[in-house]
Chain A
Amino acid sequence: MDLWGFLSDKENSAARNFILSSVIWLALVVVVALVLAIKFNWPDFLSNVSWLSFGRLRPLHVNGALFGWLSMSNVGIMLYIVPRLTGVRLWSERLGNLTCLLWNLFLGFSAVTLLAGYTQGREYAEYILPIDFLLMLCLFLLLYNVFKTVLTRKEKVMYVSLWYFVGALVWTPFIYVVGNNFLMDLTGLGGRGPVSGINDAMLNWWYGHNLIAMWFGNLGLGIFYYFLPVLTRNALYSHRLSLIGFWTLAFFYVWNGQHHLIYGPGPDWLESVAIIFSVLMVIPVFAVVYNFFKTAQGKWHLLFQNSQEALPLKFLLIGGFAYFLTCMQGPLTNAPRTINAFFHFSYWIVGHAHLAFLGAFSFINMAAIYYVLPRVLKTPVSLRLANWHFGLFATGLMTFLGVLHSSAIIQGGLWTAKIQEYDFLTGATLWRPAVEHIEVVRSLQPFYFAIMIGASLMVVGILTFVINVLWTAYKAAGRQEAEV
């Protein structure tokens, strides 16, 4: 045993290790998610223990989902795709495996520190400095490995997926260093001087927003662009469109961060810039989505086919469709000022985030894993379990998202309901909330319950997936030993 394969030099071993680690973190994250959903209904469930308090579990849930499940599976799938698009082996499989080991270490540390209450308190940027360093190290090792592979490639022309991968690896370290307050905390500039209060909030959302697109979005799209033609067995509809999509995304997306603070205390011109660019996002999204629908044309019936070949495609088609929905939701319902006024601070945003990360990117990565795993391990996955996974996950997700978005309408409506009062002394018109906040909480009770039901269905579906993947790996390991 060479540390469970973490020092292996075998082809695809880094991809395999990243994928297997990612599903283990996924299992942890969804269990935490379920605990959180229960706490909304029974707030005294697992309370009185600081480590299991809502405010500690929530950052673990978000960061675990992003840096654990999504990042690791993204990287694993990328390490599988890059050799196939470059025509050479990964530059160093050993380095890849070492990165995976470090990545797991980083996640382990981060889970413990977050639960113990060590946090920087900024959403998506909670990790404390030492953990930031560890993540940066992982990113740089990955960057080095992938760039070396791309530079020694045999294929002359770089396929779209590679642009997205290289782009993600260039952008993410920059975003992380300047936006995470990594530099501010190291140099002590934060807290006083140029970065405090409102500037900290602007930087936080500059970072949070761009990390999502430039790391998760780009890797996700790279994976999507690779598997779309592979799984549909159709040629990519238009390379020109993908080129436009790539550069306009790189241009428009990074200006959007401030739309998280609309009507906030920041400069108004910045908000306007963010809103304009958010709406412009329709262009790159259209490029991707048009390409998607055109390439997938004639294959939608495979959604209903029950076979090993059609299995990954099912997930990919749903993922692509969810991508379309979530990307329309952004410019149409989140950015425009009047609609934002209604939905900001409500569960609409939570719904949007889950639609993107669970609906779009998790479905895409699950599709990729169902395709990659049997090839890397030379062992088929269980089709029956996979069908249960699909059914439970899709049903749960639709319930969850439907209820979450409806509850947001209740919230916005009740918050906006005002009683008008006329002050005879000053002649001023005053507005006073028509309902106390606690009434909003009480009227959301049935919604919280339904959300929990949807979440449970999803969690069972996802655990089926995890068991399927690990069981396949176990079978493959047994078979390999028998062969030796």
Chain B
Amino acid sequence: MYTALLLLILAASILCLGGIYYKRSVTFGLLVPGALLMIIIAFLSTAVLPSMEKIPSTPKGLPYTEKQLLGRKIYVREGCVYCHTQQVRPIKTDAGLGSVSQAGDYLYDYPHLLGTERTGPDLSHLGGKYEDQWHRNHLTNPRPKRPEEEGMPGKVPGSIMPAFSYLSGEEMDALIAYLQALR
């Protein structure tokens, strides 16, 4: 692995230096194959090589049921990933969020939903934290809208999460089943 990596880096460096010293300018005949070769080398080393590593299985990396998969599709469709991460890092900033994520946890995740932004909290270990009804109230509208909703489970004053009241009953159930599967 490391030998292959070093050889590939060496090849790219030679190409790069060659490009710089070959001529004062760049010719079309040099540019097209040179450019292509460079990106192929980078692709091999930073995308293909790491995919060949063996991924040990973990207790969290379980296949989804039919219903959970449907829920996962809705999670993708509604763009929950733009506000929620599903990734716990081994650092102090993430301490207390649950066990640290490992490659095996994501074995059945396609597309991946690691996320890039934490406008809302991390959801890696959400399953079992709340009742289904909590989620139903929360997803319908996370904020208490009427006086009788104050203090109701799943109503979070000051939340800026969107309301998903337009989801059908079946979609809502599937989504909740998926959320409860995140353990």
Which residues of the other chain, B, contact A157 by a CB distance below 8 angstroms? 25
Is the beta-carbon distance between B82 and A54 smaller than 8 angstroms?
A: yes
User: Taking CB as reference atom, which chain B residue is nearest A346?
Assistant: B118
User: Taking CB as reference atom, which chain A residue is nearest B142?
Assistant: A43
Q: A residues 199-248 with Cβ under 8 Å of B? A: 199-204, 206, 210, 214, 239-240, 243-244, 246-248
User: Taking CB as reference atom, which chain B residue is nearest A208?
Assistant: B116
Q: How large is the interface on A (under 10, 10 to 19, 20 to 34, 35 or more residues)?
A: 35 or more
B116 interface neighbour in A44, A260, A430, Cβ under 8 Å: A260
Which residues of the other chain, B, contact A251 by a CB distance below 8 angstroms? 12-13, 15-16, 38
Is the beta-carbon distance between A442 and B158 smaller than 8 angstroms?
A: yes
Contact of A50 with B by CB under 8 A: yes
Is the beta-carbon distance between B114 and A264 smaller than 8 angstroms?
A: yes
User: Contact string, B85-119, partner A, CB cutoff 8 A, digits 1/0?
Assistant: 10101111111110001110111111111111111
Contact of A349 with B by CB under 8 A: yes
User: Taking CB as reference atom, which chain A residue is nearest B13?
Assistant: A251
User: Taking CB as reference atom, which chain B residue is nearest A411?
Assistant: B118
Contact of B3 with A by CB under 8 A: no
Binds B, one of A164-172, A302-310, A451-459: A164-172
Contact of B76 with A by CB under 8 A: yes
A199 interface neighbour in B35, B51, B156, Cβ under 8 Å: B51
User: Contact string, A242-262, partner B, CB cutoff 8 A, digits 1/0?
Assistant: 011011101100110110110
Q: How far is the CA of A171 from the CA of B158 in the complex (A)?
A: 46
Which residues of the other chain, B, contact A412 by a CB distance below 8 angstroms? 93
Is the beta-carbon distance between B120 and A437 smaller than 8 angstroms?
A: yes
Q: How far is the CA of A181 from the CA of B101 in the complex (A)?
A: 23
Is the beta-carbon distance between A243 and B24 smaller than 8 angstroms?
A: yes
Contact of A175 with B by CB under 8 A: yes
Which residues of the other chain, B, contact A270 by a CB distance below 8 angstroms? 46, 50
Is the beta-carbon distance between A265 and B103 smaller than 8 angstroms?
A: yes
Is the beta-carbon distance between A267 and B162 smaller than 8 angstroms?
A: no
Contact of A191 with B by CB under 8 A: yes
Is the beta-carbon distance between B96 and A431 smaller than 8 angstroms?
A: yes
Q: How far is the CA of A400 from the CA of B81 in the complex (A)?
A: 23
Q: How far is the CA of A267 from the CA of B5 in the complex (A)?
A: 13
B51 interface neighbour in A48, A119, A202, A433, Cβ under 8 Å: A202
Contact of A383 with B by CB under 8 A: no
A55 interface neighbour in B35, B91, B107, B162, Cβ under 8 Å: B162
User: Taking CB as reference atom, which chain B residue is nearest A341?
Assistant: B91
Is the beta-carbon distance between A264 and B101 smaller than 8 angstroms?
A: yes
Which residues of the other chain, B, contact A246 by a CB distance below 8 angstroms? 19, 26
Which residues of the other chain, A, contact B83 by a CB distance below 8 angstroms? 54-55
Which residues of the other chain, A, contact B47 by a CB distance below 8 angstroms? 178-179, 202-203, 206, 257
Contact of B7 with A by CB under 8 A: no
Is the beta-carbon distance between A243 and B20 smaller than 8 angstroms?
A: yes
Binds A, one of B127-135, B163-171, B175-183: B163-171
User: Taking CB as reference atom, which chain A residue is nearest B111?
Assistant: A121
Q: How far is the CA of A263 from the CA of B160 in the complex (A)?
A: 28
Residue from A49, A195, A441 whose CB has the most chain B CB atoms within 10 Å: A441
Is the beta-carbon distance between B96 and A265 smaller than 8 angstroms?
A: no
Is the beta-carbon distance between A263 and B25 smaller than 8 angstroms?
A: no
Is the beta-carbon distance between A53 and B78 smaller than 8 angstroms?
A: yes
Which residues of B are at the interface with A, using a C-beta cutoff of 8 A? 1-2, 5, 12-13, 15-17, 19-20, 24-28, 31-32, 34-36, 38-40, 42-43, 45-47, 50-51, 53, 55, 61, 76-83, 85, 87, 89-97, 101-103, 105-121, 141-143, 156, 158-166
Top 7 closest A-B pairs, CB basis?
A55-B79, A197-B106, A431-B95, A254-B42, A121-B76, A263-B89, A247-B19
